[in-house]
Amino acid sequence: MVIGLLLGGIYLLEIHRILRPGGFWVLSGPPVNYENRWRGWNTTVEEQKADYDKLQELLTSMCFKLYNKKDDIAVWQKSKDNNCYNKLSTPDVYPPKCDDGTEPDAAWYTPLRPCVVVPSPNLKKLGLKSLPKWPNRLHVAPERIGSIRGGSDGLFKHDDDKWKMRAKHYKKLLPAIGSDKIRNVMDMNTAFGGLAAALIDDPLWVMNVVSSYAANTLPVVYDRGLIGTYHDWCEAFSTYPRTYDLLHLDGLFTAESHRCDMKYVLLEMDRILRPNGYAIIRESSYFMDALTTIAKGMRWNCRKENTEYGVEKEKVLICQKKLWYSSSKES
């Protein structure tokens, strides 16, 4: 936290940017409870008090209020509306409002900015209290669907119904879904998090990945109460090897094969997939033979299946990564 204070609170500004109006930020550790803990921090009580006062000053200037504090934990709440931000228009007040024209939701290759991102006053249902309660919010079109090009309540409802049907079909093709064999799942190029929402009653969690070159639908994923991130699948995904039990992709190669060689994407999938883990690849028939050949070279067992509608132009490839070891020996 001291580092954040030395940088003029820029880390706190990023916390402010990604937090909903009315949302909470919890800090556990220095300088909270400095009165009783300072001796173990190789510092003085005066220095720690100064750090805490500076922290409180910065958070107040960003329209946070101390919500509660007990022992080593302090909780601040972000302002529920925009009234507090009017003071940021005053000259010489730090931090200033962001007025550089940068898209507030931009987070891909975007440097941290030393200014406050003020929530749009046009979005009335962005705050924590205005969203439907969990789990109802899973199946309610968020207000921010309208900010996506071509987005609408009707499109959201169609996508929600579509993935309910697809998830049911996937479970027939791969009965391990819903069992204790699959826990960590990644939907590699989701739109609205439809698959994750359809599997919400199963004992698993889904990382929803929005392609950085597709429409920016990540706000909708989060408004549904789901977790997600951006990624460019021409690059490695930031995770440990052998992390996920199931990978799912829907039309990724159709959409981005002109940018990325399929074999490199599949090799990255192999890296992050556990031995004996599964992959569900939903693609046009055009790519199926090539995908099957590459997967066989990676020692995956694959079978081609029909979609829930049985159309020929689209197929589903169900693969399992083998548990194998190199037969080469050191001389």
d(CA 234, CA 49): 47
pLDDT for the residue numbered 92: 66
pTM of the entire structure?
Answer: 0.88
Cα 143 off chain centre by: 18
Chain Cα centroid distance, residue 207 = 7
Q: Which class is 136-321 in CATH?
A: alpha beta
Q: Which pLDDT does position 4 carry in this prediction?
A: 46
CA nearest to 232, candidates 211, 259, 218, 255: 211
> How far, rounded to the nearest angstrom, does the alpha carbon of residue 21 sit from its chain's CA centroid?
18
Q: What is the pLDDT of residue 10?
A: 85
Distance CA 208, CA 230 (A): 9
Residue type, 145: I
What is the domain partition of the chain in residue ranges?
1-128, 136-321
pLDDT averages per 10-residue partition of the chain, 331 residues: 55 91 92 85 86 90 94 94 78 73 74 83 78 92 89 95 98 97 97 98 97 89 95 95 97 91 95 97 95 95 95 95 69 40
Per-residue confidence (pLDDT) for residue 68, from 0 to 100: 97
Say what the pLDDT of residue 6 is: 40
